[in-house]
Amino acid sequence: ADTVAKIIETLKNAENNNTQRLFVEKTGWILGFGYDDAQLDYYPTKADLDKVSTDKPVLIIHTSGHLSVANSKALELAGITSESEDPKGGIIRRMENSQ
């Protein structure tokens, strides 16, 4: 995908894809892999992934495997809040006034 809108649309349709549907049914998570912010119109955010679902956790993993973006439900399940400290060896990047 070359836009965040296309990523959102692909994730919204995940349950229409047999392999993706089975993963969502077994795990409850909508998962995407391989986004490249260098190819996108802007860096995806929690708010973007909340457009996919607010009742299911959504996580997308960067093509490098070193970055990811989560929606509000995924952050809630992971126990990540605005008060959470960065994990050892990692950084939780936040938008201003956000989780």
Q: What is the mean pLDDT of the chain?
A: 92
For residues 19 and 6, give the distance between their C-alpha atoms in angstroms, rounded to a whole number: 19
**How much is the average pLDDT of 74-96?**
92
For residues 8 and 18, give the distance between their C-alpha atoms in angstroms, rounded to a whole number: 18
Q: Which of 39, 81, 74 is nearest to 55 (CA)?
A: 74
**How much is the average pLDDT of 14-28?**
88
Query: What local confidence, expressed as pLDDT, does residue 19 receive?
Result: 84
Q: What's the pLDDT tens digit per position in 32-77?
A: 999 999 999 999 999 999 999 999 999 999 999 999 999 999 999 9
Q: What is the sign, positive or negative, of the torsion defined by CA atoms of 62, 33, 12, 39? A: positive
Query: What local confidence, expressed as pLDDT, does residue 16 receive?
Result: 85
Query: What local confidence, expressed as pLDDT, does residue 95 receive?
Result: 79
Is 4-78 a CATH 3.10.310.70 domain? Answer: yes
51: left (phi over 0), alpha (psi -120 to 50) or beta: alpha
Kindly list the domain boundaries of the chain, sorted by start residue: 4-78
Kindly state the helix (H) or strand (E) to which residue 85 belongs, with its residue range.
none
Q: Which residues contact 7 (CB under 8 A, 6 or more apart)?
A: 1, 32, 35, 40, 44, 48, 60
